[in-house]
């Protein structure tokens, strides 16, 4: 461990963190005393800006790892992924909390945020999303609570929580499938406003598949980040096999996107190098097809840096895709451009920083990552270093300390 560099780097990040907190508090005050117009560049032409495009659409997608990994482990019984379950649940739990926080900033009347509970409009996708997000946040809280109970040593509650795991996972997967795809359905009602490169009846499917993809990419990114910040991480063979599955999903996603362009007769538009076409190509080329090829190679998947780099590209591609749908796609129909204001970016960074802070705290104090010593010992016994990604159906019991 680089003894001198570490504290320095940490203190720089701590400084950034406190600066963002201070900025966030000031901007929050302005937002709630003077209205949305005072802090944002949103307008009647662009009623949805960065907070919907990034904080909501990307936030929900980036937190998809929670349901993908729990489904893999508890439904498909891929036990070797068990060490990923907790970090993925923690990320998802915090992710959804942050999305709700972002909504408090974005909604014009956030004090009415609970209204969908009693004022029903089942015709509205937004109503369905609201319910799914509320219920899924509850599921995540229950799944997350296991770590807290364990830490507090409340064995009885831990046992109850364990008994609930399977039904919770099922409910979580169904709810996630629904609202991840419904965020795409949200845009189906504006065929006249959304650019043809992004408007497609397949939007819900594309949203769902890309969310699953980015959820897995986030598992890799996070493990790397937490290894840097906390010295804790998941073992490389495990991450490589996540990369392997990710590469399969990317092939599926690329196939789906191009089938859709062909199906909607948009292949020519895609390559006409207009403003929209260039942004679409950015999202599809270097940020989707490139990582697809990279991850197809075992050399990349087995190299910590390359794997991390490829996963970062996938995450970036996902973000560009959602921003394209939420913002770029509207520009030709509504006219003009939308660029987020300083304060919109500031509040977004404030929320992201809160997320990082909360994750660090939780990873430090809760049993999120498998205990290192025991893990090393057990993996030395159970997993020979050569056996990993290439043998997906060869299941191994990795001794997880369940204390």
Nearest alpha-carbon partner for 142 in 117, 102, 100, 171: 171
| Per-residue binding letters, 32-51, with another protein (x by CB under 8 A) | xxxxxxx-x-xxxx-xx---
From 101-109, 211-219, 279-287, 307-315, give the range in contact with another protein by CB under 8 A.
Answer: 101-109
3-state helix, strand, coil in the chain (%, to 5): 75, 0, 25
Judged by CB under 8 A, the residue of 1, 3, 76, 386 near another protein is 76
Nearest alpha-carbon partner for 194 in 264, 132, 130: 264
Position 10 contacts another protein (CB under 8 A): no
Nearest alpha-carbon partner for 108 in 169, 32, 167, 1: 32
Position 193 contacts another protein (CB under 8 A): yes
Nearest alpha-carbon partner for 226 in 102, 80, 83, 69: 83
Position 102 contacts another protein (CB under 8 A): no
Report which DSSP code applies to 389.
T
CB 64 within 8 A of CB 217: no
368 by Cβ neighbours in 10 Å (0-12 / 13-18 / 19+) ranks as: buried
Judged by CB under 8 A, the residue of 60, 63, 102, 173 near another protein is 173
297 by Cβ neighbours in 10 Å (0-12 / 13-18 / 19+) ranks as: middle
Position 128 contacts another protein (CB under 8 A): yes
Helix (H, G, I), strand (E, B) or coil at 367: coil
Position 171 contacts another protein (CB under 8 A): yes
DSSP letters, 165-214, are: HHHHHHHHHHHHHHHHHHHHHGGGG-TTTS-TTT--TTHHHHHHHHHHHH
Position 334 contacts another protein (CB under 8 A): yes
Position 379 contacts another protein (CB under 8 A): no
Position 340 contacts another protein (CB under 8 A): no
- Among positions 16-35, residues that touch another protein (CB under 8 A) are 32-35
Judged by CB under 8 A, the residue of 134, 148, 170, 352 near another protein is 170
Distance CA 220, CA 165 (A): 24
Q: Which tokens in the block code for residue 236? A: 């490389």
Nearer to another protein, 173 or 343 (CB): 173
Nearer to another protein, 15 or 201 (CB): 201
Rounded to a whole number of angstroms, the minimum distance from the CB of residue 126 to another protein is 4
Position 373 contacts another protein (CB under 8 A): no
Position 127 contacts another protein (CB under 8 A): yes
Position 126 contacts another protein (CB under 8 A): yes
Rounded to a whole number of angstroms, the minimum distance from the CB of residue 113 to another protein is 6
Nearer to another protein, 182 or 233 (CB): 182
Position 307 contacts another protein (CB under 8 A): no
**394 phi, psi to nearest 5 deg:** -95, 95
Q: Which tokens in the block code for residue 245? A: 């599955």
| Residue ranges that bind another protein, judged by CB under 8 A | 32-38, 40, 42-45, 47-48, 71, 74-77, 106-110, 112-113, 115-116, 119-130, 166, 169-171, 173-174, 177-178, 182, 185-186, 188-193, 204, 333-334, 378, 381-382, 395, 397, 399
């Amino acid at each position: 461990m680089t003894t001198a560099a570490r504290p320095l780097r940490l203190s720089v990040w701590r400084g950034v963190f406190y600066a963002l907190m201070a900025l966030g508090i000031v901007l929050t005050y302005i937002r709630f005393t003077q209205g949305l117009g005072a802090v944002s560049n949103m307008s009647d032409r662009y009623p949805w800006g960065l907070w919907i495009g990034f904080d909501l659409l990307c936030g929900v997608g980036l937190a998809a790892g929670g349901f993908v990994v729990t489904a893999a482990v508890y439904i498909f019984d891929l036990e070797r992924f068990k060490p990923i379950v907790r970090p993925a649940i923690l990320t998802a739990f915090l992710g959804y909390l942050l999305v709700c926080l972002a909504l408090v900033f974005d909604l014009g009347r956030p004090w009415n945020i609970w209204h969908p509970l009693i004022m029903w409009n089942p015709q509205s996708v937004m109503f369905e999303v609201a319910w799914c997000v509320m219920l899924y946040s509850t599921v995540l809280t229950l799944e997350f609570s296991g770590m807290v109970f364990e830490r507090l040593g409340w064995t009885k509650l831990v046992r109850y929580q364990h008994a609930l795991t399977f039904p919770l996972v099922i409910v979580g997967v169904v709810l996630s499938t629904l609202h991840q795809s419904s965020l795409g359905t949200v845009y189906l009602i504006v065929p006249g406003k959304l650019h043809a490169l992004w408007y497609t009846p397949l939007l819900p499917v594309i949203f769902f598949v890309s969310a699953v993809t980015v959820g897995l990419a986030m598992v890799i990114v996070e493990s790397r980040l937490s290894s840097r910040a906390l010295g804790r991480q998941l073992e490389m063979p495990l991450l490589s096999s996540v990369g392997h599955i990710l590469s399969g999903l990317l092939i599926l996603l690329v196939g789906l996107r191009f089938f859709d362009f062909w199906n909607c007769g948009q292949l020519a538009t895609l390559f006409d190098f207009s403003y929209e076409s260039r942004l679409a190509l950015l999202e599809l080329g270097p940020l989707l097809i490139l990582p697809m090829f990279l991850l197809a190679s075992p050399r990349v998947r087995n190299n910590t840096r390359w794997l991390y780099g490829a996963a970062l590209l996938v995450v970036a591609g996902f973000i560009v895709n959602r921003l394209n749908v939420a913002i770029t796609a509207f520009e030709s129909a509504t006219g003009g451009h939308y660029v987020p204001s300083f304060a919109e970016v500031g509040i977004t960074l404030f929320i992201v920083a809160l997320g990082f802070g909360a994750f660090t705290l939780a990873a430090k104090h809760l049993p999120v990552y498998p205990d290192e010593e025991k893990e090393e010992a057990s993996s030395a016994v159970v997993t020979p270093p050569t056996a990993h990604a290439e043998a997906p159906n060869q299941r191994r019991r990795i001794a997880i300390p369940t204390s």
